[in-house]
A and B are shown apart, each in its own frame.
Chain A
Amino acid sequence: MRYSGFKVIKEALTGHRGWGPAWRDAEPKSNYDYVIIGGGGHGLATAYYLAKQYRQSRIAVVEKGWIGGGNVGRNTTIIRSNYLLDGNEPFYEFSLKLWEVLEQDLNYNAMVSQRGILNLIHSDAQRDAFVRRGNAMILNGADAELLSTEQILRRYPFLNVNNARFPIKGGLAQHRGGTVRHDAVAWGYARAADQHGVDIIQNCEVTGFRIEDGTCSGIETTRGFIGAKKIAACVAGSSSRLMTKAGMRLPIESHVLQAFVSEGLKPVLPGVITFGAGHFYCSQSDKGGLVFGGDIDGYNSYAQRGNLPVVEDVCEGGMAIFPVLGRVRLLRMWGGIMDMSMDGSPIIDRTHIDGLYFNGGWCYGGFKATPASGFAFAHLLATDTPHETATAYRFDRFARGCMIDEKGMGNQPNLH
């Protein structure tokens, strides 16, 4: 079924009886060409591009719970491509370009909203760094504009530009950045993948890998053995937990990142603002809630909930630049588990086990990467060569000394 304005009117007039499920709840078959582990944004995108772009078939996505129940349902929905380094920026710009055509491509309303993202500047040194980053973005085909404090105040008159410690001295804007309805990304990819014949198998947890003579020939699951020529792990947040079953240790620590939503307000915040120096960023959802977050808690965790010191820290950051927040009540908060990698950048690569492929290490930047991650991982699976925008995301970059460390923090995952 194709969604359209005409279809909406027709269904409205006929009692909404003709919609039907958006995807099949498939039963596992005994054998596939490709099995993708993880029915989140990245796994479903991988399946979709594998089927559509690379014209592969006999594809399954296995998910231990329900699709979209992991980090694609637990993020702050921001898209952007404001990176500095060569290994990253072309990839994230490719992702942003895919976001721009996503809804037409999937025939699904994912509420992609290019409302713009603004990184605030507080010092001369930070301005120099942001000018450099903006130039790197422009050189890679992205958009970037340096704004003065006056230009910022025109759009965000409520910002406290005279904070004693962090006065706002300008900002780096990416007008093509914005937000997307996160759940709709999972559902849109699921529906589109299903229409290309992909089996989406829910409530099917991987319990082990069948590996003989260095080759992986399938997965053991709670719903039986599923054989496959190529097995693709796409479970960021649980990567170490899964890959341990294949005997692998990863350059990853799992950390919890908290996020918050306020009660619904009338439109107040037209774009996304980030206050990196104070560990706070914020946007307003279409329902009216202010969606905001800050840093990871900083210790290994699989708990999907954090602790109060970070809540206090994030709210202090918010109050420093956005004082009207003080009148707003917090509605909900949650934690998501991040694959924090050793250099703050992801991995899309083959493993040393034939037939087993890995996608993970997204730190807290996985949501914006969803389309490009799926596209690049599908490229790797179909062709056994890395996609041109993802050539740097290799396992061996740590041993080779080719880290992609945007912040220059070194091998300390909780600092990225």
Chain B
Amino acid sequence: LLPPSNLCLMKIAVCVKQVPDSWAEKKMINGTLDREGVDAVLNDLDEYAVEEALRIVEAHGGNEEGGAHSVTIISMGPERATEAIRKALSMGANDAILISDSALAGADAITTSAVLAKVIETGGFDLVLCGTESTDARMSVVPAMISARLGWAQLTFAGSVVVDPAASTVAITRVTDAGVDSMGASFPAVLSVIEKINEPRYPSFKGIMASKKKTIDVRDCAAIGISVQGAWSLVADSAPRPARAAGIKVTDSGDGGKELVDFLAGKKLI
């Protein structure tokens, strides 16, 4: 007789991107982001997805050795993206897949979603978790595109997630500008989580040591069986915007508010 937990093994994938540090000033070279000049880190917003995936499995028996479930990190990016992946592994994910290929340099969201969907499709996952946005591309479309490509349920902009592994269902509250929606679906589903959902853990010393032994399976396009098309949106030109001209600065000694109003009036803003 199988123990009940074996009847509901959950396989969760988390899509993470390595991005230039969001605190750094960025610039373009030949129509693409200059990635060499800035520090690369795990997309801050994807840390919330890693954390949420870990909380989901921990609430149902865990993913450590002997635990019922697993969390796999999936990333598309250059070889050095392994650094960002290690951070996710040191938080507690089990293993990782990195799709890295020179043909993918400068990939747009269409290609990125095709690559990620291809890997997810063959991995037998129940749930895929993403961040809401990569802090460099800032498109907020990849999770919806993955869902569209796979024909899986789309549960994005989640402010809370409740999973029932026995019933193979997941419910979220979707939080956007428009309001709050309660929604649910059966597995498999693609989720994205907002940054108010949790507080990502810091990797423990034990976690960091353990992450060094975890597998990062690096594959190229041929290995996942995908041929890459060129980007469908082409950059014609890019230029740094002229810096704002130095403004006026006054120290308030009782008249600051009045001076502010005079400035607005001078500019015909009131």
Q: Do A and B bind each other?
A: no
State the A residues within 8 Å of B (CB). Answer: none
State the B residues within 8 Å of A (CB). Answer: none
